[in-house]
Structure 1
Amino acid sequence: MTPTLWLSGLRYHLRHRWQLVLAVVGIALGVAVVVAVDLANESARRAFALSMESIAGQATHQIVGSPLGIDEALYARLRSEGLHPSAPVVEGFAESRGRTFRLLGLDPFAEPPFRPHLSFRSRSEIDLNRLLTEPGTVVISRSNLRELELGSGDSLELDIGGRPAVVKIAGTMDSDDRMERQALDGMLVADIATAQELLDMVGRLSHIDLILEPAEVEPIRTRLPSGIHLQRAENRTRVMEQMTRAFSVNLTALSLLALLVGLFLIYNTMTFSVVQRRPLLGNLRALGASRREIFWLIAGEALFLGAVGTAIGIGVGIALAQGLLGLVTRTINDLYFVLNVTALTVTPTALAKAVLLGLGATLAAAVAPALEATRTPPRLITTRSREEIRYRTVAPRAAAIGGVAMATGGLLLLYPSQALAPGFIALFLIILGFALGVPWITGNIVALAERLGRRRLATPERLALRGVRASLSRTAVAIAALAVAVSVSVGMAVMVESFRQTVHQWLQFTLQADIYVSPGSAVSARRSPPLLPEVISRVRQTSGVADLSTYRGLEVGSEFGPIQLQALHLNQQSRTGYRFRSGEPKRIWPAFEEGAVLVSEPFAHRSQVVPGDRLNLDTASGARTFPIAGIFYDYESDRGTVVMARAVYEQWFADQTVSGLGVYLEPGADVEQTMERLQSRVSDLQGVRIRSNRDIREASLAIFDRTFTITEILRLLAVAVAFTGVFSALMALQLEKAREFAILRAIGMTPGELWRLVTLQTGVMGLIAGLLALPLGLLLAAILIEVINRRAFGWTLWLQLPPEALIQGVLLAVAAALLAGLYPAHRLASSPPATALQEE
């Protein structure tokens, strides 16, 4: 290409700086959302991996036992038999000053081969003598010590499963390696004996770490007693990562929708730049510029805009990711497991992905305008009306292609698969297909409105409608961008409200007890520390208490990996709280008492089991098989749950501990007064959480709302991208129609009437976008509920159609269009008509 062509393009963009800025902003916003979600997910994943590595270290295998742990005598026997290297580990959680710490009990003399970063390196300052000989001493990371504003030798108060404990800091851990330093964050390390006392695990170990050669695995496995298992160390990490995979994929897909909306803006910008330069391009073609040179001129400009927008988007995305990281971490803590993420991890892979997405999306959106600039013969390229005629001719064909794309998406949804990728591909095909049909639909809607209002509408209204249809090549693109963004907002709102109402109804019939008692630690739901027997006895004897149901929650091994098991003693009222997807209650409950288990809907979905199948569980006396009696609806965890009768659990797991109580009151007993009596009776024994049925419902819905906060943010960002696109389109129309509006002013139209005309035109565009967004939004909601959500999490949701969400969608589209049209309307109404006519 000649320098003359490049200079012509540069001069055009310098003369239209606002258009250049809007294009860059649109690209930057789209890229920023993708980068932010990607970095937040990757940082959480990396923090989890570091946390797991800090525990597993160099271990290749682990010896694990029942939920109560392993008798430490086994470790002594294996060591005496020459099993080296091996290291005992005691693991649990503790809370202090609103923060959750992982408490790790280790043997310093067995550690060097396993966890070098915990082997008291030179940067660590640890009084090893105190740690080994003085009870209640721990070491902590240097950064955590600064955060807690403590010094070495100071005391730290802990809450461990509702039991208070005080430890002394015997030193700090640190490392020169940034990753190792991050792994130490949120960790308390103690001697084995100290950790056993703090976690009430005297004489027991959480697991034993081993470093084995492949040939050593089976001989070791055969030496283990019944109920003790040998597993690969990475199994635990893999299972935990699988828990959050669907959550991360859904966030990534939602962020890509923002980039998809940005595509419309890029396409609109490049199309308008081609249309506005038609006379110049026609002259260049007539003077000898080839089609190839014109194509690469437009494509090169798009690549430049994409590069600038992507660079800015990456910077904004990194800043945005820091805020999203807290939301992602909080959601993982609420739903899955304890995770401390304080540092944002920016990887070259994430940045490379952002560059490819930003540049790829820009070039993809610029191909059609670049081809358009090369196709028209030079003698016709200066005729604007011919382009609009051609566009209206092409619109039906584009709508037909869009119909094919939507039908293809529908067929993909019908394909029997549990994979998420086909569902998301179908979702994007449906959105793109709908967008291709917007120009044809818009033209027909406006034509119908013109016919119906021919005698009723005043001149400004008729001109507003005609202006939308006369410039369909650009108004339709802006309408499509806004419609897609608002449809995503409507679809997500309907899905979230359906989810919320489903959870609300489930809580209503599941929480049958009047009061619930559990250990006071906020991590009790994850680790299920036991209630003291004396606490249970005093609760039972409290005035106003009629009956109790008991709960024991723990993690056990199975053929599907570690699973959540709940051992329940249920009275008749408790049983009414279960709703079954498969199986008849009259047959389920007798089978349940005889030894069958119940599985939640997410567990059945993930494990592909049905009533009548058998489930293998690792019990204290070895592997046992339990028949599955029924599948119940459950929305507590997408990981899934297995429920077993309390008597059956005690028989096979030799565990009589209780993690929580459901308290049923006598008729007429006051809930609040009974809660106060319970608190006064047991507070001297153990810190417990005593909550009413209503309190748990409210707390559960609060967690639900926190979980979807990040979704709301991404919805708003998608609408922001669309708003930029509408503003860009309206500014383009203002420039293009400057002469037309100047003539209207010259023949008598007042500034107020012109303002009204432009405002009506933008309002019509917003109204059409809002009306088109409703059916697409409802379709997206149905796909999210019936396909994406079901495949990702296994939940059955009941579709709700909140009228306020639909009305808000239309109002959002109209408001966005009207706001975007304020500046163009002001500029047109305040510009002297003579100036516009002279410029033309």
Structure 2
Amino acid sequence: MLFRTTWRFMLRHPWQLGLCVLGVALGVAMVVAIDLANASARRAFQLSAESVVGRATHQVLGGPTGLSEELYRQLRVEVGLRSSAPVVEGYVQVPALENQTLQLLGVDPLAEPPFRAYMGERGGELDLAALMAEPATVLLAETTARRAGLELGDALTLQIGTHEVDVRLVGLLQPNDQVGREALEGLLISDIATAQELLGMVGRLSRIDLILPATSDPPPQLLALLPPGAELLPAATRSNALEQMTRAFELNLTALSFLALIVGMFLIYNTVTFSVVQRRMLFGTLRCLGVTRGQLAALVLTEAALISLVGSLLGLALGVILGRGLVGLVTQTINDLYFVVTVRSLALDPLVLLRGFVLGVVATLVAAAVPTLEALLTPPRTVLRRSSVEDRARHLVPRLAGVGLLLLLLGLGLLGLPAEVGVGSLFVAFTALFAIVIGAALLAPLFTVGLMRIARPLLGAVFGLLGRMAARAVEANLSRTAVAIAALMVAVSVTIGVGIMVHSFRQTVVVWLEHSLMADVYISPPSNTANRIDGVLDPALPAQLAELEGVAAVVRLRSTQVNTLVGPTILMAVDAGAERGRTTLRFVAGGDDATWAAWDAGALLISEPFALRSGLGVGDSLRLRTDRGLQDFPIAGVYYDYSSDRGIIRLRYNTYRAAWDDPEISSLALYATPGSDSEALLARLRAATSGTGVLVSSNRALRESSLAVFDRTFAITAVLQLLATIVAFIGILSALMALQLERGRELAMLRANGLTPRQVWGLILGQTGLIGAVAGLLAIPLGLAMALVLVYVINRRSFGWTLDLALEPRIFLQALLVALIAAFLAGLYPAYQMSRTSPAAALREE
């Protein structure tokens, strides 16, 4: 009978049931969407790494120029390592695929079968003889070829660095399983000689793959043959290091989605409470007829469980849809900041879906526990007295404030713990942030009471009786209004905190770019990532450009990657160049004449993120593997840098050339002669480099493109902020509907005593306006506290960057307006309903 009663109630109030389900669904959807986007990017990288590494147990890696192919012959013939395979790898862009980046893998087809299974499969159409015998021939996954509209024998244009080349498709790879197909979608395979020619690595190898017995150490003959610049590493080392780069980024996104789930729990509480409020009289009657508290609790919790099941399932579906949009933003950010990864589809990880489903169910049941207790603790004799509920709510205010204060102190204590850059300390920081947010939410009722007592006489003086009634109603119905205020406060504070963090970050980057981009013109090849240049320039180009009119100095730069104690790190070699180039760096430590004297003598400068991750500083030494063997380089300075959260090592170009046999140039920085026309200089430079494919960028253009990358990186946070605000808006609507339902008799009596429908509108909208104003005002200090934690703690522990806090009044004003508008819009429907309700119908009792 009880469950039939519940079913009939739900059928009579379908919009309310939909509101409950939507609240659960939105909270689950945000968590699932972020997790799926992260998991898809991670899966794409893992599949790509597995398809490239294959069954290799170890890899021989060289320096920036790779390895001599003679080493492979020695390992195979003299040491007898038959399970070895040479590899040449690089990145190319394919215009036919909308300039998608593919990884070019040059292999020896005869040595490949033990390492990579797809070379031995015959599921596709492969002409290995043509691949080995004919130049400029490649293999491509059938799915990729289909997207490019290619058939066997067709020509394919590749953009490699500054030039375009045409290759011929002689094979389509068709793995027998879906995983294999996904793994090969980002690969372009060629014979090793073809890859060497295309990538400009004739006579050189990127690495040598090995399969060594797991039970024994590497053969001593192998180690003895390795040249000074080469090292033997387990095959998983590099993949693991690259994967660890994105962990902090993924944790940041996950934390934002959990903040939205917290707001969703407020929403769930409100909607379930609404359901309980509507049936207070029914529950009291059932108690009088003998229904026990346990049966009543089972009834309410069963409803919540059913709502959680439906809402969580809907949330999974919404999360998949939202995740398809977010995966592109996540992938783009990873490509901009870390490494190239190709994600074309959303990977539906069952564990992610299960975790989201469980979170939705548990969050709903936890949020429903409070209204369930309210239903249980309401004695039948007081069921008609709304004041009994508010009496309990008022008594709870100081207790909640005490718990909230303890949580705030706990959060501050956790933030005060010593910590380093890394995921572990970042988890502690987010725990502290959540403690602060929940603590502030528990303090919201106390501040609401105080603000309403201040506002009551002020509103009475301005709006008369209706103003005092609106303020009194917010305080008198604290059990409903406090939750709505807390939900909106948390959502708006997220907008403030993240907004200030992004604004501070952007302003810091703007100042950094103004200092670091001192040259007038920059010349570079096209690149696949925003923070690293993989291509090279013609070695004759610097001398050629130095002869042009208006060019005062040409500074060579070489950007490559080396293995350090914190993993793969960017190494940047810079010409001594013009003296004013030294003013491009702002130093955390060092920067005086002694620093530059040591730099000229061969010392390094390291960026702040690298210093924090490695624990090294001025006066320490960094050991690097060079083409002369392991060398210790003294560290002369630590400088601010925001181009890589893994860190950058900077040294003089001459120092680099003395340690590495690498004559390549990654980019050029050109200084104009004083008083020369910059536009005319740009025109001459573009004319001089016409047909070479290089990018000629002015100082201003490069600064704008860097800021465009920055804005693209934080686009996903704007999406999450918007969704959190939508969740809060729905929460306010449900709270106001519950409140106006409970006040139906009160408003009916006021109508009977002469209150007009217009005054009902004014009273209800005045009350909702106060809810929005209080939530907005309380969100300002919470948002500022959140911004301080994000800027000075979480950002530093995530990425190792020191930011300058930049407070923008516009952000606070916008947040206050969002709170007011959200509350005002949420109050329109309740005001409309109550203004049309007949006083006689509202006063009638059975």
- 1:358 aligned onto 2:360: yes
Alignment of 1:220-235 (within 5 A): 220-235=222-237
Q: Which 10-residue stretch deviates more, 233-242 or 291-300?
A: 291-300
Please give the per-residue CA displacement for 1:344-385, whole angstroms capped at 9, x wherever unaligned: 111111111011110111111122222232234333344211
In structure 1, what is the Cα distance between the partners aligned to 2:102 and 2:198? Answer: 13
- Could you tell me which amino acid in structure 1 is paired with residue 212 of structure 2? L
C-alpha contact 1:559 1:617 (8 A) present in aligned 2? no
Residue number in structure 2 paired with 1:829: 835
C-alpha contact 2:456 2:467 (8 A) present in aligned 1? no
- Could you tell me which amino acid in structure 2 is paired with residue 101 of structure 1? L
Among residues 637, 645, 650, which one is paired with 1:638 in the alignment?
A: 645
Consecutive unaligned residues of structure 1, counting only runs of 5 or more, are none
Partner SS for 2:81: coil
In structure 1, what is the Cα distance between the partners aligned to 2:246 and 2:564? Answer: 20
Q: Which 10-residue stretch deviates more, 27-36 or 295-304?
A: 295-304
Residue number in structure 1 paired with 2:814: 808
Alignment of 1:589-600 (within 5 A): 589-600=596-607
Alignment root-mean-square deviation, CA: 1.5
C-alpha contact 2:457 2:468 (8 A) present in aligned 1? no
- 1:67 aligned onto 2:64: yes
Alignment of 1:93-108 (within 5 A): 93-97=91-95, 98-108=99-109
C-alpha contact 2:533 2:666 (8 A) present in aligned 1? no
Alignment of 1:311-460 (within 5 A): 311-418=313-420, 419-460=425-466
In structure 2, what is the Cα distance between the partners aligned to 1:697 and 1:218? Answer: 51
Partner SS for 1:576: helix
Partner SS for 2:632: strand
In structure 2, what is the Cα distance between the partners aligned to 1:370 and 1:84? Answer: 71
- Could you tell me which amino acid in structure 1 is paired with residue 281 of structure 2? P
Partner SS for 2:584: coil
C-alpha contact 1:162 1:521 (8 A) present in aligned 2? no
Aligned-residue offset at 1:140: 1.1
Residue number in structure 1 paired with 2:669: 662
Aligned-residue offset at 1:455: 4.0
Residue number in structure 1 paired with 2:87: 89
In structure 2, what is the Cα distance between the partners aligned to 1:266 and 1:334? Answer: 38
Q: Which 10-residue stretch deviates more, 267-276 or 821-830?
A: 267-276
Q: Which 10-residue stretch deviates more, 277-286 or 629-638?
A: 277-286
In structure 2, what is the Cα distance between the partners aligned to 1:317 and 1:698? Answer: 34
Residue number in structure 2 paired with 1:118: 119
Among residues 599, 610, 624, which one is paired with 1:603 in the alignment?
A: 610
- Could you tell me which amino acid in structure 2 is paired with residue 112 of structure 1? P
Residue number in structure 2 paired with 1:16: 13
C-alpha contact 2:565 2:614 (8 A) present in aligned 1? no
- 1:51 aligned onto 2:48: yes
Q: Which 10-residue stretch deviates more, 457-466 or 63-72?
A: 457-466
- 1:582 aligned onto 2:580: no
- Could you tell me which amino acid in structure 1 is paired with residue 89 of structure 2? E
Residue number in structure 1 paired with 2:74: 77
Aligned length: 835
In structure 1, what is the Cα distance between the partners aligned to 2:345 and 2:218? Answer: 38
- Could you tell me which amino acid in structure 1 is paired with residue 277 of structure 2? V
Please give the per-residue CA displacement for 1:378-403, whole angstroms capped at 9, x wherever unaligned: 33344211211221121111111101
Partner SS for 1:782: helix
Q: Which 10-residue stretch deviates more, 586-595 or 481-490?
A: 586-595
Please give the per-residue CA displacement for 1:249-283, whole angstroms capped at 9, x wherever unaligned: 00000001110000111112223333333332233
Please give the per-residue CA displacement for 1:227-263, whole angstroms capped at 9, x wherever unaligned: 2110011011111111111110000000011100001
C-alpha contact 2:335 2:530 (8 A) present in aligned 1? no
Alignment of 1:95-494 (within 5 A): 95-97=93-95, 98-119=99-120, 121-214=121-214, 215-219=216-220, 220-418=222-420, 419-494=425-500
Please give the per-residue CA displacement for 1:133-152, whole angstroms capped at 9, x wherever unaligned: 11111111112212112222
C-alpha contact 1:156 1:166 (8 A) present in aligned 2? yes
C-alpha contact 1:517 1:662 (8 A) present in aligned 2? yes
Aligned-residue offset at 1:541: 1.0
Aligned-residue offset at 1:224: 1.8
Please give the per-residue CA displacement for 1:142-163, whole angstroms capped at 9, x wherever unaligned: 1221211222212112111112
- Could you tell me which amino acid in structure 1 is paired with residue 195 of structure 2? A
C-alpha contact 2:246 2:334 (8 A) present in aligned 1? yes
C-alpha contact 1:602 1:638 (8 A) present in aligned 2? yes
C-alpha contact 1:465 1:761 (8 A) present in aligned 2? yes
Structure 1 pair 811/193, CA: closer, same or farther in 2 (3 Å)?
A: same
Aligned-residue offset at 1:496: 0.3
Aligned-residue offset at 1:786: 0.8
- Could you tell me which amino acid in structure 2 is paired with residue 460 of structure 1? L
Aligned-residue offset at 1:444: 1.4
In structure 1, what is the Cα distance between the partners aligned to 2:742 and 2:670? Answer: 73
Structure 1 pair 587/253, CA: closer, same or farther in 2 (3 Å)?
A: same
In structure 2, what is the Cα distance between the partners aligned to 1:509 and 1:373? Answer: 64
In structure 2, what is the Cα distance between the partners aligned to 1:678 and 1:370? Answer: 74
Please give the per-residue CA displacement for 1:477-528, whole angstroms capped at 9, x wherever unaligned: 0111001000001111000000000000000011010000111344585353
In structure 1, what is the Cα distance between the partners aligned to 2:190 and 2:532? Answer: 22
Partner SS for 1:533: coil
C-alpha contact 1:517 1:690 (8 A) present in aligned 2? yes
Among residues 610, 618, 621, which one is paired with 1:614 in the alignment?
A: 621
Aligned-residue offset at 1:216: 4.0
Partner SS for 2:696: strand
In structure 1, what is the Cα distance between the partners aligned to 2:226 and 2:661? Answer: 18
Q: Which 10-residue stretch deviates more, 40-49 or 645-654?
A: 645-654
Structure 1 pair 523/163, CA: closer, same or farther in 2 (3 Å)?
A: farther
Q: Which 10-residue stretch deviates more, 649-658 or 101-110?
A: 649-658
C-alpha contact 1:159 1:521 (8 A) present in aligned 2? no
Q: Which 10-residue stretch deviates more, 91-100 or 779-788?
A: 91-100
Partner SS for 1:598: strand
Aligned-residue offset at 1:70: 0.3
In structure 2, what is the Cα distance between the partners aligned to 1:524 and 1:332? Answer: 10
Please give the per-residue CA displacement for 1:389-429, whole angstroms capped at 9, x wherever unaligned: 22112111111110111111110010112311111111111
In structure 1, what is the Cα distance between the partners aligned to 2:630 and 2:564? Answer: 8
Partner SS for 1:172: strand
In structure 2, what is the Cα distance between the partners aligned to 1:10 and 1:430? Answer: 40
Aligned-residue offset at 1:99: 1.4
- 1:27 aligned onto 2:24: yes
Aligned-residue offset at 1:446: 0.8
Aligned-residue offset at 1:739: 2.0
Q: Which 10-residue stretch deviates more, 494-503 or 741-750?
A: 741-750
C-alpha contact 2:152 2:169 (8 A) present in aligned 1? yes
Residue number in structure 1 paired with 2:507: 501
* TM-score, normalised via structure 2 length: 0.97
Aligned-residue offset at 1:738: 1.9
C-alpha contact 1:564 1:640 (8 A) present in aligned 2? yes
In structure 2, what is the Cα distance between the partners aligned to 1:389 and 1:766? Answer: 24
Residue number in structure 2 paired with 1:774: 780
In structure 1, what is the Cα distance between the partners aligned to 2:754 and 2:321? Answer: 52
C-alpha contact 1:406 1:434 (8 A) present in aligned 2? yes
C-alpha contact 2:32 2:319 (8 A) present in aligned 1? yes
Consecutive unaligned residues of structure 2, counting only runs of 5 or more, are none
Partner SS for 2:596: helix
- Could you tell me which amino acid in structure 2 is paired with residue 664 of structure 1? Y
Structure 1 pair 441/525, CA: closer, same or farther in 2 (3 Å)?
A: closer
Q: Percent identity?
A: 50
Partner SS for 2:113: coil
Partner SS for 1:379: helix
C-alpha contact 1:502 1:797 (8 A) present in aligned 2? yes
- Could you tell me which amino acid in structure 1 is paired with residue 498 of structure 2? M
- Could you tell me which amino acid in structure 2 is paired with residue 162 of structure 1? T
